[in-house]
Each structure stands twice: as structure tokens, then as C-alpha cells.
Structure 1
Amino acid sequence: MPSYEFLSLATKPTAKLCYSFQPAVGTDKPALVVFVNGLGLPQTSWEGAIARLQAQPPAHGLPALLTYDRYGQGQTADRDPDDVKSEDPMHGHDTLAVVRDLRQLITQIASEKLGVSDLSHLPLVLVSNSIGGALVRLYAQEYPGTVAGLLFLDSVLANSDFISIYPDPDAPCFDTASLPEGVSVDAIRDARAYIQRVFHPSNGSREGLSRKNLAELLPNSDGPKLQGPDGQSPWVTVIGHEFETFKVEFEKMGGAPPRLTEVYMNPYWHRFNEGLAKLTDSERSKGPFQAPGAGHFVQRDNPDLVANELREMLDKAI
């Protein structure tokens, strides 16, 4: 089991973040794997995949590993100190603020744990779930040349308001006769109302992370192309939820009947994932493919797959 510790960012000294750092094993080559949470599960959700990776490490050794809970998430009880300035604490800061915090965290971990003062000499592999997918993309864009690999696990639909995934039955041009078999106007209307209440970017989060401007920051899933170390493109692997599993999971959440997920949500998400696979050169891209037996939280539902794909990436990227 990992050991969890606390530190304060030099840029936000009044608050503490909970993190876990595990040193490299079998290699002295500087590198760091960072696991970036979504909104739903904290850093402990990576324990299963990490344990499997440690039990069967990559051929050339296992780099250092870092997990953490953002402010107001998991074992990090402290809120983002900057949120006190916000009128709405559920929209206290945006994804770019989180990316800057992550940069500072990596800077301090690199210096204190790895003896690396220049992050241009520390290749990163970023593993992400849900909104973590948007965060790692923004990190790679903001700090080009530093990210050697990105593993996306059911990334958030960063450029969507989610409601528009479903047709609007109240639009003037809507044609009821065009609905696929098994899809009703009432079901669509109910699904759109649920999305509005739960997933629309206007809804804040308990940790204060706002998605209001996310579609502006990441308007396209397939670009801009990312730049990795040494002038190379990063390795990118894109994994989505298993369609059948997610249909059941989403219905249990109250989201939509399985038929609507089959017709609208799953194809939309797959097309988004196809775009993510184009963030790098084709020879360095893998996926998208579905994680067997996994809903949205791939690392929880199929940790073996996550460990296997990360091991494969590390053998190529580090």
C-alpha cells in the first residue's frame, strides 16, 4: 500500500495537498509518472493499477510514481486558498489553475524527491481519468516538450455541454418521425433535464473546480497536436468505457435508458476519443478502444488493463 503524505505548494503555502510518491525501481533514468484524478474518484482509485504495475514492472524498470488529491478532494481537506475570492465556491477556479498547481507540485517533487531542478530534463507520463483527461491535455499544451506519454481513461467530453448530445425535442425543426426505434420524445426530454442538473458545465463541483470555460480552452478533441520531449510527439493511448457496461451504469445513475445511451451517448463519446487519438503522430497513437467490463471509472473497474497499457507505454516512452 502506498504511504500518503502532505505538502504545501510554495505558491499556496497556507494549504496542504495529500500525495503519494513512490521512487523508481530498477532504473536510474529520470522520469515521473503522474496519475491525475477525475472529479468522481480520489487518488486511492489508482492503487489497484499501481500494485499490478509494481508486481510486473516494465522491462527497463519502473519510474517514480506520483498520485495526489486536488484541493477539496479525497484526503486533501484544505480548499484552494484562491477560492476565498470567488462569489461561488463551487466555481472557485478553473482547469488552468489546476494545471498551474500540478506544475508546482511536480516542480517540488522533482527537486525534493528526484534531485531534478530543470523539468525539461524530467520526461513525464500522465495517466488520467474523466476531467483528468482535460487537465493533462492542458498541461501538455502549457508546457510543451515535457510530456512523453498520455494515457486517457474515458476522458471528459471537454468541448461539449453534454445536453447537445441528445436532439432537442422542442426545437422548431425537430421531427418526431426521425427518432430511432425505441427512442421516445419523453425519454429524450428527461435525459436532457438530468444532464442539465448534473453534467452541464454550469454545474460546479464540491472541490471548486469549474468547467464553465473548458470548451473554450479545448474546443477540439483532435488538436492542437501535442509536442513531447526532444522534438518528438508524445505517445498517446486512448481507452473508453465498455459500451454495454456504461449503458447499465448510466441508467443506475439516473442518466438515461440504455437505448438512449446506445444511440446517442456512446457513439458521441467514441467520436470524441477518435479525436484524442489524433493529438499525436499516427505511429505513436493507440486506440481508441473499449475497456472490457469498465464503466466510466476504468482504473477502478479494470486495473489490470490500466497496468498493462501503462507498462507498454513506459517501455516505449521512457
Structure 2
Amino acid sequence: MEDITITLTTKPSASLRASVFSAHPPSTSRNLSDVLVVFLNGLVLSRRAWLPAISHLLSSFSDNNQHPPTILTYDRYGQGDSDHDPTDDPNTIPYSHDAHDIVSDLHQLLTQFTSSSPHLPNLESTRLVFVCNSIGCPLARLYAHAHADQTQISAYLFLDSMIANTDFVSIFPDPDDTGFDPGSLPKGVSPQELRYTRSQFRKFFHPTVPNPEHFDRRKLAEMLPFSDSPSLPLIAAPGDEKPSEKAPLLTVVGHDWDEFAEQCEKGTMAVPKQVINTFMNPTWSRYNDGLLRLVHTPGNSNTVKVASGCGHFIQKDDPEFVAREIKHLLDNL
């Protein structure tokens, strides 16, 4: 992987940092020379968190005497090694640019990157594969619809997607609500633990919580109110007489319930495992089930895969698993 700096023509006073693997395709017709694998970060981990998975992926191609596609992972403005967004209004910080702005920046980045690549066609003819973690998954969904007429997103790998339509706090019952029934709680969960859990999730995950990117998440639930709609755009498929359309490939991966609950209990939040397993994990599981319905084709898995032994940051906890899932998608393109 090569570290590069990219300055968007739309924002010339700041730069993005990226890591790139530029494929050198063979002179054959059946290969991945027109494929660009794009990694979309969550809020916490930068592009460098993907590098172990990418290393495993490249090794798997080498071991099988195959030629890998072009790979791009980057830090958004204000994240990792990238500069802050030069259009952020100092008077509104920490709430500045939103998901629509990030999607627009991503499109400009991909347009410039593909046009300057010696091995890729222009963006409209490049087959994109999005590998996403956390908030990167809703960003991929928003991008797909914003630029459906200009891109071909052939495959998606959603690694523990952020639950985009919640404030996180309301996942847990409010013990101070007038209609709350303490007797409805399962054994091992107390009103005091619920109250504490709600305060911790409000402190760390509520959409109003600032982040170093100045990414304003307050309206994300309005942008994506449902996990199962709108469906991911169809893509062009070559036909005998004229191109037809088909659904993209989609793999949805969820975290290991016990590992995630363990990390919540032993980490900074110190939220009891029983509370997470009673309320958060079932809610997240239903959300992931909805994501599967974003595509309608027999070629896609109808079950959510579980990354055994992994918490929310699957690329960090098991990069080899992530590499295998990417390779599986690429083999099916």
C-alpha cells in the first residue's frame, strides 16, 4: 500500500490522506481490472485500521496466483491524517458538515482518483465495491442513492453497521417514565442499571455528541429512517442485445453478542453485559436483518453473518475474517 495525498478540486485549501494499492492487471478479459475496492471508516478508527485486513486480502490473491483489484482507503476531513474540512463554519463547530457533504466529497474523491488512475476506467465504468464499518455503512447507502446514475456499486460488505435510525438512548427503557413497570425487567437488570446505561449511551453515542471530524449526525435518522429501505440501486448487467439490470451483491456482518457485551462492560462505558444482551443486541440484530432486505436477489445471503469473537470493530478484532469476506465478494463479481 502506498500513502498518498489527494486535494479535491472542490476544496483546494485542504487535503485528504489515503492509502492505495494500484493493480497492474494482466492483458486478459476476465479479471478485476475495472474494480475499485473502497473502504469507508466509522467515526473512531482511521483508514490505517483496514491495513491488516488488506494485507491478508492481497496475500490471498498472491497465494492463488490471482491479480487483485485496485484498493483505496482514506481518512475523511478531520479524521486520521487528513486536514479539517475547509468549509466548516467556525460559528457552528462542533456541528459543521453532515452526511450529505461527506457523500459529495466521496464522489469528488472517486471521480478524481479514477480519472488519474492508469489502470481504471472512468468512474461511471468502474465497478465499485464498498467495504464499510459502523457509520461507513449508512454513508455507503446514502452515496449509492445520491449517485445511482453516475456509478456502479457492484458489491457491499457491511461490517456491524451503525444503527442509523436511533438516538441509542431510547433503545433502553426509561426507568423514570411514568408508565415504566419495574416488574417487566428480566432477572439481573435493575432500574438503576438502566438509568446508568442510558446516561452512558447519551454521553458517548447520542447524535448530539461532538466528534473530531465535526461530522453533524443530528439528522442522520431522518436521512435513513428504515434499515430495509430504500433498496440499494440496481446496476447494469451486460446482455446479449442490450444491458439489463441486476441487484448488487450484499453481505451483512454483525458482531459477536457476547464479545460486544464483554467489551461494553470492561471498557470505558462499563455497562453491564446483561443490559446489553437484553436490549442493545436484539435491537441491533433486527436492524441487520432489515439491511439484508435492501437487495432482492437469490444470489445474496439471506442471513446475517456473525463475526465470532469480534466486537463492533470487526476489522480490528479479526482482519483475516474481513479479508475472507471481501475475497468472497470479489470472487462472485
Q: TM-score, normalised by structure 2?
A: 0.91
Alignment of 1:110-149 (within 5 A): 110-114=114-118, 118-144=122-148, 146-149=152-155
The structural deviation recorded for 1:115 is 6.1
Alignment of 1:3-152 (within 5 A): 3-26=2-25, 27=31, 29-57=33-61, 61-76=67-82, 78-83=83-88, 85-114=89-118, 118-144=122-148, 146-152=152-158
Instruction: Tell me whether 1:311 sits opposite 2:311 in the alignment.
Output: no
Aligned to 2:332, what secondary structure does the other structure show? helix
The structural deviation recorded for 1:255 is 4.8
Equivalent-residue separation in structure 1 for 2:278 and 2:223 (angstroms): 28
Deviations 1:132-177 (A, max 9, x none): 0111111111122521111001111100110111011111211111
Residues 116, 302 of structure 1: alpha-carbon distance in 2 compared, 3 angstrom cutoff = closer
Contact 1:32 1:122 in 2 (8 A): yes
Instruction: Tell me whether 1:203 sits opposite 2:226 in the alignment.
Output: no
The Cα RMSD (Å) is 1.6
In structure 1, the partner of 2:192 is 186
Equivalent-residue separation in structure 2 for 1:188 and 1:25 (angstroms): 55
Equivalent-residue separation in structure 2 for 1:32 and 1:116 (angstroms): 8
In structure 2, the partner of 1:254 is 269
User: More deviation in 26-35 or 118-127?
Assistant: 26-35
Instruction: Tell me whether 1:289 sits opposite 2:295 in the alignment.
Output: no
Instruction: Tell me whether 1:302 sits opposite 2:306 in the alignment.
Output: no
The structural deviation recorded for 1:227 is 1.4
Deviations 1:225-255 (A, max 9, x none): 1113212111110111111110111112315
The structural deviation recorded for 1:281 is 1.4
Equivalent-residue separation in structure 1 for 2:202 and 2:290 (angstroms): 25
The structural deviation recorded for 1:24 is 1.9
Equivalent-residue separation in structure 2 for 1:65 and 1:29 (angstroms): 11
Contact 2:18 2:74 in 1 (8 A): yes
Identity of aligned residues (%): 40
In structure 1, the partner of 2:28 is none
Contact 2:75 2:81 in 1 (8 A): yes
Contact 1:30 1:114 in 2 (8 A): no
The letter of the residue matching 2:202 is: Q
The letter of the residue matching 1:134 is: P
Deviations 1:43-73 (A, max 9, x none): 0001111011100127863210000011111
In structure 2, the partner of 1:279 is 294
State how many pairs are aligned: 314
Residues 114, 135 of structure 1: alpha-carbon distance in 2 compared, 3 angstrom cutoff = farther
Deviations 1:256-310 (A, max 9, x none): 2000011011111111111111111142333312101111100010111111110
Equivalent-residue separation in structure 2 for 1:110 and 1:154 (angstroms): 28
Unaligned runs of 5+ in 1: none
Aligned to 1:152, what secondary structure does the other structure show? strand
- Tell me which of 279, 290, 311 is aligned to 1:264: 279
The letter of the residue matching 1:23 is: S
Deviations 1:10-61 (A, max 9, x none): 1000001001121125446311000000011000001111011100127863
Contact 2:24 2:119 in 1 (8 A): no
Alignment of 1:234-245 (within 5 A): 234-245=248-259
Instruction: Give the helix-richer structure, 1 or 2.
Output: 1
The structural deviation recorded for 1:86 is 4.7
Equivalent-residue separation in structure 1 for 2:5 and 2:234 (angstroms): 30
The structural deviation recorded for 1:118 is 3.8
Equivalent-residue separation in structure 1 for 2:141 and 2:42 (angstroms): 13
Aligned to 1:284, what secondary structure does the other structure show? coil
Aligned to 1:44, what secondary structure does the other structure show? helix
Contact 1:195 1:255 in 2 (8 A): no
Q: TM-score, normalised by structure 1?
A: 0.95
